Structure 1
């Protein structure tokens, strides 16, 4: 069902009138529109559990369903704002206490309480039964005694992500029905950021308990967001209905259907034909053609995510860091931004963002475009032109294939023999049964500290090291030290040294450009895009 041109004011008036006319059914009174959104993919893991689906596509759909104690202002600059917690306070450098909103309803109608928050961060739901609590006996405690959930058989990726997000969480306690206290084993200046990032989404304990198994739960999760899951068909569609008991006000849409349409041209044609109301992941070169039609417009901007190229130093050719350094100096990043992105994004200062504030390293740059230096490095490393595989997905990222083709030519000009290997999914990208060398990735900052990006993705618990692509002893020591350091000057010096290691000396990756997302929509719909992958469809961000 596609969006019909009806005023939300009129819809609200009808709903109010129906209260005085019992003969009018709720279904007849609900004249809110429904919309259809076409996306490149809904979830890479065929699941809607944030701890399993740590991806850009997952972040987009999770904004409809899930919420956290601390949230981001999606219509501003992603500042931290109260979410399911109305307030919080630091008790000491290891402890943060939250006061929960009263009357928040889950999608199943239950009220959210401290018991649900405690369960959300429990072994059963997050860490797995073998979590090492360093002899702490009260890791997760609640004033409400409940039987633990049995038989959910967490996928190994879930506790792996949980331990990456919370490497030293000691206990989560329900002080009373609406007060929760988080305590870390070590000092941590980033606790609020961790509790407010993707993966810390609050879920219903009862709904999780009642699910037959983990997969059933993960395909119909119950949280507190403005929309609830009606039906999910992996790799095809996700249908959401309004959660009319939503604490933030009645959602403006009756339902949302998100459909998987991998090809850009098919998404665009569907929009122009009226089949879709919104389409995501629009390449910049397609924006002028869409906006030639006065009925449509394209919104978007840079987001807190960088496109990167990642190296596997176990490949025989990449074991020598000089060859990886040559890769980084052979890339004309500004040419990619100008040619493929129409100048709508930028080359950033390495793997960091200005919203880090005092932790942002000034005067840092990506490796300079220097083909002569790249050639000299290859010569010094005695590289003889042996083929180096480059694993690639078919436009999972906007402009992915065209960017890869440009990169291969740039690398070839410097003397690198890089050969593209097309893969169908991420499992094939990470497969270690055949030689790995170079691949595409992106990196987001979940909150305003390098812990959320550089350490989380490339540190000792990060996915790159967990899949066995890269490791560095000094980087790992710094990561552990930075987790517990509270002096901001010392933390910034550690971060700078990490950048030197990961981007210059022993490259784990190289940043290509800041990512940007563009969404095309009907012009008569009043809606604002967020500076993130997430999409905002609460009451303050939709009207026609």
Structure 2
């Protein structure tokens, strides 16, 4: 009797230990306020949404960004404005409902994306999904999506953010779009288990996941730990399995420990800043050009990143393939020309506000301080205004002038990065942060609709040249995503993107 009890107890302990070993705790600087992709285009949401949702077409970042079947087994371009998708049979949502055409109609409907309104989701999703006219149901597993105009990215648009497919039934049961945005239902390898605003997001493995790449952990907890030093201490003590937003200053401490290591590097994203050209000072393009020319990017990369990232050749990525303009130089550093432009513009030392948070981005406050010194060296009176939230950063007031941003290459094309952020349909243009000049807008329209790569390359080059003398923002360097990992428990295979793969492909427990 005692032996049976003892064996049962030992078995229980072993089972409990096994379950515990499959849990994953990730310390992050922030979690999103909502989880529906159309409501939150942010780095902190991207690292979660890869686990919750799938797209019709999958971008394989481990295979050079190739497009592969996702929730659609095949697709066919009917004409430059129309694409047809065959849906994968047998796919289950986290609520048990089966994927079919009604979910595609809902996902891309004005009801969800807000394209017929001025809501936050409409502003965020318009550069991505605003070109959709209708979704036609051919049969329960076939849909045909019609665009308003010829679309140069008609396939890529449905392989990337924010084209993650959500459950129509889940929305109906949620009662409102606001409620659903906090508890969205997808088809990904994990389902949402808990969401404490500002504190944590908890995911659980989804047993009915359609793909062979299953969830690596039974449970994943993204917990907010704002201070980098506290995240590192938790990693070294074994409290956390993965920690985010590290910089090279942290590497020696982590690599010298017996239980942790660093993974990651530069991703398909440009870290930059944005200028509010409606501001009374920055409305003069010469002052904005002077701000740009005063930035010594090589010094930032060397001093703050130990050379572990790069400065891109303008607003583009090498992943653009045929649209990458290799002959374009990196942004110029010319403090003397900056001084000349300021004199020509009649700048007299007026205060310029630079809104920044402390640590949303890696080395955020340190970068802001370096930039402030560089601008001061050419005579610009830039003052740091440290904020706590994005709402405070975005607040439309007269002193809004400079703020931080990142520029993810959601599509391997200038439409997915440069023109998405600085185009006529961008959220910043819609918010009145800048106005796109008519000639640039005309070029952008051709870039969006032309199917001729040579024509698009020529236009893109002209757009970059025009932007250099009338900039609405500045490049700093390629954004980095460095993670600290408990090497005694697991290995983490990261992708060149803000997405975090927590399937058995990305995470292997030891």
- The TM tier, using the shorter chain, reads over 0.9
In structure 2, the residue corresponding to 1:247 is in which secondary structure? coil
Bigger Cα displacement from structure 2, 159-168 vs 283-292: 159-168
Query: 1:357 maps to which residue?
Result: 321
- For residues 69-84 of structure 1, what are the structure 2 equivalents within 5 Å? 69-84=56-71
Q: State whether residues 391 and 439 of structure 1, in contact with CA within 8 Å, keep that contact through their aligned partners in structure 2.
A: yes
Q: 2:365 aligns with which of 398, 401, 404?
A: 401
Show the counterpart of 2:304.
340
Alpha carbons 2:47, 2:498 under 8 Å: kept:
yes
5+ residue gaps, structure 2:
1-14
Question: What are the within-5 Å matches in structure 2 for residues 453-492 of structure 1?
Answer: 453-471=417-435, 472-492=437-457
Q: Distance in 2 between matches of 1:495 and 1:336?
A: 27
Residue pairs, 1:417-496, within 5 angstroms:
417-471=381-435, 472-496=437-461
Q: Which moved more, 1:326-335 or 1:487-496?
A: 487-496
1:294 aligns with 2:258: yes
Superposition TM-score, scaled by structure 1 size: 0.87
| SS of 1:378 mapped into structure 2 | helix
1:31 shift after superposition: 7.4
- With over 3 angstroms needed to count, the CA separation of the structure-2 counterparts of 1:318 and 1:434, relative to structure 1, is closer
Q: SS of the counterpart of 2:26?
A: strand
Distance 1:281 1:117, change over 3 A: same
Structure-2 change in CA distance of 1:390 and 1:28 (3 Å): closer
Number of the residue aligned with 1:190: 153
Q: In structure 2, what is the Cα distance between the partners aligned to 1:75 and 1:484?
A: 29
Q: Secondary structure at the match of 2:270?
A: strand
Determine the structure 1 residue equivalent to 2:51.
64
Residues 194-218 of structure 1 show CA distances to partners (whole Å, capped at 9, x for unaligned) of 1112111101111111112223211
Output the CA distance in 2 between the equivalents of 1:304 and 1:163. Answer: 21
Greater shift after overlay, 245-254 or 407-416?
A: 245-254
Structure 1, unaligned runs of 5 or more: 1-25, 132-154
Render the CA deviation track for 1:485-518: whole Å, top value 9, x for unaligned: 221111112211221222x121111101111110
Matched-pair contact (CA < 8 Å) for 2:126–2:426: no
Matching residue of 1:147: none
| Aligned residue in 2 for 1:120 | 107
Name the TM-score, length of structure 2 as normaliser: 0.93
- Once the two structures are TM-superposed, the CA of residue 433 in structure 1 deviates from its matched residue by 2.4
Match of 2:31 among 34, 42, 54: 42
Following the alignment from structure 1 to structure 2, what is the Cα–Cα distance between the partners of residues 245 and 259?
Answer: 26
Residue of structure 1 in register with 2:75 after alignment: 88
Matched, 1:54 2:41: yes
* Structure 1 partner of 2:283: 319
User: What's the offset of the Cα at 1:48?
Assistant: 0.5
Secondary structure at 1:75's aligned position in 2? helix
Distance in 1 of aligned mates of 2:282 and 2:18: 64
Q: Give the superposition deviation at 1:159.
A: 2.2
- CA–CA separation in structure 1 for the residues paired with 2:100 and 2:312: 42
Match of 2:208 among 224, 245, 270: 245
Structure 1 residues 415, 115: closer, same or farther in 2, change over 3 A?
same
Change (3 A) 1:345 1:29: closer
1:232 aligns with 2:221: no
1:138 corresponds to = none
Cα RMSD (Å): 1.8
Q: 1:163 aligns with which of 107, 122, 126?
A: 126
Cα pair distance change 1:366/1:28, threshold 3 Å:
closer
- Per-residue CA deviation, residues 446-485 of structure 1 (Å, 9 max, x unaligned), is 1111111122111111022112121122222222222222
Counterpart CA distance in 2 for 1:430 and 1:449 is 27
